[in-house]
Chain A
């Protein structure tokens, strides 16, 4: 029994390095999506102290809008552009109708407001697009199917083209976001707002503009994640779950940290896969991916309450 926990998994890894690579690859694919979603959370939290419970439903809503528009006969890429437009309108509406009247309210009120947004989007989405499962329009968007088979060390490594596309697109999006945040005036304004509201106002930053902007970015992220995840699992309200997988990422990475979101996402994606294959399936009967991330986050929180990358909490006396 002890050998099964402490020794055998490592032997398995060394004996079948190609299989280990396969596991790591699959972990990376989900990890980068977790990272992307977590980034959406972090941007909104930093600039407005709101924990955006609606991020998950935004993924569903974006995917449904895209598929729905296409069902009405809109060409795929135009549907993508229109969906981006819809996400922008959503961002403006949320800022005007929900956030602006609640400025200065306690965080918990704003959090409740995002639950309200969630419920509204569920109802609204169902009325317009119906509640049944749909297929993502992967082929129309030119997302390749099929796979590439590699043979490292005479073994076998299967890379699905869909996964490769997801990794490339998500990586590009993350890189673009980082560049935007670090090297443009608007990006600086977003980061500045996260640090100090008063100072931000005094250098001419408009809260409203930035809020619309971060919610729109969260919308773009939702659309990309919706397409990627929808292409694997179909488009339904169950997609919302992927956003809740970002919660342990946030606990691990800290709600404040952009680096934390990225590293945390990748870490959780990879570790949960490794654990599932080498410990979960042989010892616990599998299906550990649903809870592993949360347990990991709990353990980290025991030792570092601010998360791995969160700002250290220093009490000044």
Chain B
């Protein structure tokens, strides 16, 4: 049995028990093995990073967590229960929000509307009540608006709230996508390369937001990132993947010192 107790980070933050656990995950596409026998856990309140060279299977792993892929072998445990195979929208409704490597926003809709869709997982009023704009639907819309405005404030995108997303520059789109995920008030937030393609300044902004989100709302975050510096600064614990296998797992310091990791990723360039 795994240790589900929390731990204390280097900078003194108390981390909770296990929130999600991947047990012996293997993922095959036909004859290609994308992930082979990987296990790791994510504790409540921590920032967990998955790193590895291109093609290591990081995104596949995130897709398994968010239900876009079903593992060939292995189990996903969430909040102490084994999760049955689920569709992505069902996983989303269980409190798992995500962003995508290649931004997936609703381009034709305004920033505000995009962030509002983040609240869909919390929809309780019936279609009929919404169609008639009566009762629960009305009240729910108000509550949603309040939370969404808070998120918009938090990520400093008030200025563009009425702008169609299609017109925004790349860096801001990434931020809107984060806002949409946050609006769902997720128990776990998955970020697929949140800083890919950004310049230094945008990266600093994004790092700050990620830390603030974790700090302010206590949101558990699991992120994939290429930029080693960023990962080492941000995350509490790191999983290192290479060719679909796990080659390291631990705090940034531990991982940085691990010879296998250095060979595979940090030391020997082999992309």
| Interface positions of A (Cβ within 8 A of B) | 176, 179-180, 183-189, 191-192, 194-196, 198-207, 213, 311
Contact = CB atoms under 8 A, between A and B. Distances in A.
Contacts of A213: 127
25 contacts: A183-B133, A183-B141, A184-B131, A184-B137, A184-B141, A185-B117, A185-B120, A185-B123, A186-B123, A188-B113, A188-B116, A188-B117, A192-B106, A195-B108, A196-B106, A199-B100, A199-B104, A201-B68, A201-B87, A202-B66, A202-B88, A202-B92, A203-B120, A204-B92, A204-B121
Contacts of B109: 188, 191-192, 195
B35 interface: no
Interface in B85-101: 87-90, 92-93, 97-98, 100
Nearest to B88: A201
B104 A202 contact: yes
A81 to B, nearest CB: 13
A154 to B, nearest CB: 45
Count chain A CB atoms within 10 A of each CB in B89, B93, B108, B117 and give the residue with the most.
B117
Interface in B165-186: 180, 184
A204 B67 CA distance: 11
A203 B105 contact: no
B18 interface: no
B120 to A, nearest CB: 5
Contacts of A179: 133
A203 to B, nearest CB: 5
Nearest to B66: A202
Given A203-B117, A203-B118, A204-B184, A185 B144 contact: yes
Nearest to A187: B130
Contacts of A202: 66, 88-89, 92, 97-98, 100, 104
A213 B128 CA distance: 11
